[in-house]
Amino acid sequence: MKSIRIILENIGVFRDRREYILSTGLNIIYAPNASGKTSLINGLKVLMLPSLTTEEIAKALNDYEEKGRVKLVIDDSEFSVDLIRMPDGTVRAQGRRFTEDSLIERVAFIDLGSDLVAAILAGNHDLVKSILREVTGVSHVETILDTLTRLKSEYEYSFQARRKEYESKREVYVEQRQRLTERLENIRKRIVEILQAPQLEPARKKMEELESKRNTLLEIQRRLREQKLEITNRIGLLKRDHDLNKSELDIHKREREKIVKELDELRRAGPDMRRALEILLKEVENLQTERENIISEIREKERMLERRKEVIDYAVCPYCGAPIEEDRIRSEIYELEEDLEKLRSELKKIINAIEEKRMEINEIREKAERRLKELEEELKKIDERIVNIERVLDTVDGKIKQENKRLAKIEDEIKDLDKELNVVNVQLEVLRSEVPINLIEEYRYLTNEEQKLYEELDSINAKLRQLDELYNELRVLEDKLERVRLLQEYFQIRLNELTRATVERINEVILKHMKLLKLAELEYPVLVEDFTLTLTRAGGTPTTLAELSDAEKAIFTILMTLVLKEYVAGEFPFYVVDTLMEFIDDTRAAEVLKYLMEAAGNDKVIIVTKTRPFTGEPRLLSQEDILVNTIPSALTQPSR
């Protein structure tokens, strides 16, 4: 960085345009109270901190002005933020900032508003610990872990509930199946006994043949029923897919309609917007003409004023030789100066008005173009989604059609089998008339029961197969749970690694700044593994933050923020300390400043404010108040 210029317009105590030059190395803003030290720092904050609160932004703008600007020019690069007071009294900041890293605020802008400074000054160990964890990123891993713990308990609950449902249902169905199978076996045994009874001898052979045929037909029919059930289930699932896709398609179509409507409205509004823009542009043009007129009037009046000032001390006019009437010329000078002041104030108003109109024009253009682009992109995405869903719907509908065909075929086959079974049953009835009535009645009852039990068994088997789907869901849930468990394990390992490594690294960096630690009258090390501060006085006596003096706390704050900055934003070239030096006695302040001068080297810009005692009238900050790599002599002279 060869040159750094900061330009402030209506910022803080400044009600005009101010320009200051900063340099690499240590810049001590050494000026009296209320001269604008903090205003300059607030200007820098507006330019560099993306996460300023609305109050902080409002604080940066001069209370009596409607708008202001901060500009930072570093070599050929320019960064500028405009502050505009809105009708509701809030102040809006817009423009190009030097950085968008939100951590910068906590490690590179050290003032009484900083949370770390407040925690150290208040002697709050727990708060300091939690801020250190946040700034170093360790608390982010804790957030991830907390989230994973929550997710794990949700998945575990859902998994256990489903498993319980699966296991209890399965137990009931398996038991029912066993009971039915036992009953079926007993019935079959009795049927065989009846068929083997001697009273059946004349018709036995034929009956056995028909019975076997009947059993075969029943078996085929059972298999077909199973197939029918499977197909019905599949059709049900496909219909669910169809409905889901259909409703999604409807939602997208409705969204599409809305977008198309908004696009149409926006395009229809085009001519109106153009007309509004034309009006605004015309207004700007008029204002510019007015500005040019006022500028030439000012120039003319300035020339007249200059001439009068030139001739006032002469007895006769050096141009025309006429005698000089001093009183008249003095009154003319007074009038001209008044006119000039009025004209300049008018010019300022016109310039502001031009800028406001230009901003309005840009806002209208940007807003409309941005929205148009957003809508067109959204429309493109929705169209793609609609095409995809329609494709999926076609596939699903095709499958439903195929499955329905298969279902119809199976139903026909079952009907045919029913017919065949009826024929066999009639034949069996005829044969039964030739044998004793009691056996036949029992046989008839048993075969009926057998058929009923088969049907019940089919239904239980189908339920067990449906349970397989629940089992699959259970396995999917188990897989998700395993993912959460693994992620939790990984981030727990990372938390331990990161905490250890960060504390070690921070202690290493603190070691590099031992001089500051000594100035705070503390000994190394400062942090233990879980970020707890362990402070020890020179000599080995343990102490706490609350027991440190204000000067020690201030030096310790500078040390910790320097260390943190080096750890999280080492490349960021600025480091700013506002107000804090006031807590440190002059001797140690001089030592701290010397240390910061060395730390800044040739590539960093360290800015420190320090109050200069009043000498003379109150005044605003000037370039001479910014001392570069020079410690104010008032601090280094002990006699002071």
Partner 1 sequence: MGKDSKAKVVEALKMKGIDVFGLERELMMMLRRGMTSIEVYEFLKKLIEGEKR
Question: What is the binding site for partner 1 (CB under 8 A)?
Answer: 51, 101-103, 137, 140-141, 143-144, 146-148, 150-151, 155, 479-480, 482-484, 486-487, 489-491, 493-494, 496-497
Query: What long-range pairs does 126-130 form, CB within 8 A, spacing at least 24?
Result: 128/533, 128/545, 129/530, 129/531, 129/532, 129/533
Q: Which is nearer to partner 1, 496 or 637 (CB)?
A: 496
Whole-number Cα distances in Å, 468 to 458, 480, 558, 637: 15, 19, 66, 89
Minimal distance in Å, beta carbon 483 to partner 1?
Answer: 5
Q: Which is nearer to partner 1, 93 or 148 (CB)?
A: 148
- What are the respective helix, strand and coil percentages of the chain, to the nearest 5? 70, 10, 20
Minimal distance in Å, beta carbon 489 to partner 1?
Answer: 5
Quick one: DSSP state of residue 540? S
Closest CA to 83 of 97, 101, 103: 97
Distance CA 36, CA 578 (A): 12
Q: Which is nearer to partner 1, 479 or 571 (CB)?
A: 479
Contact 60, 23 (CB under 8 A): no
Q: Which is nearer to partner 1, 140 or 328 (CB)?
A: 140
Here the tokens at position 229 are: 């059930």
Contact 545, 526 (CB under 8 A): no
Alpha-helical runs (H) found in 68-137: 104-108, 115-121, 125-136
Minimal distance in Å, beta carbon 135 to partner 1?
Answer: 10
Minimal distance in Å, beta carbon 484 to partner 1?
Answer: 6
Contact 439, 200 (CB under 8 A): yes
Q: Which is nearer to partner 1, 140 or 405 (CB)?
A: 140
Q: Which is nearer to partner 1, 71 or 106 (CB)?
A: 106
Q: Which is nearer to partner 1, 480 or 594 (CB)?
A: 480
Minimal distance in Å, beta carbon 415 to partner 1?
Answer: 45
Find out whether the peptide bond into 323 is cis, omega within 30 degrees of 0. Answer: no
How, if at all, do strands 25-31 and 605-611 pair? parallel
Distance CA 541, CA 527 (A): 16
Minimal distance in Å, beta carbon 112 to partner 1?
Answer: 24
Here the tokens at position 5 are: 């210029």
Run of H or E residues at 300: helix 204-311
Minimal distance in Å, beta carbon 478 to partner 1?
Answer: 12
Distance CA 364, CA 378 (A): 21
Minimal distance in Å, beta carbon 33 to partner 1?
Answer: 36
Question: Count of residues for the chain?
Answer: 640
Q: Which is nearer to partner 1, 501 or 514 (CB)?
A: 501
Q: Which is nearer to partner 1, 101 or 523 (CB)?
A: 101
Q: Which is nearer to partner 1, 80 or 488 (CB)?
A: 488
Minimal distance in Å, beta carbon 540 to partner 1?
Answer: 34
**3-class secondary structure, 159:** helix
Q: Which is nearer to partner 1, 155 or 574 (CB)?
A: 155
Contact 462, 454 (CB under 8 A): no
Contact 40, 621 (CB under 8 A): yes
Minimal distance in Å, beta carbon 20 to partner 1?
Answer: 32
Determine how many CB atoms are found less than 10 A away from the CB of residue 511. 13
Minimal distance in Å, beta carbon 245 to partner 1?
Answer: 17
Here the tokens at position 315 are: 């007895």
Instruction: For the sheet with 605-611, list strands across it.
Output: 109-110, 574-577, 605-611, 25-31, 626-628
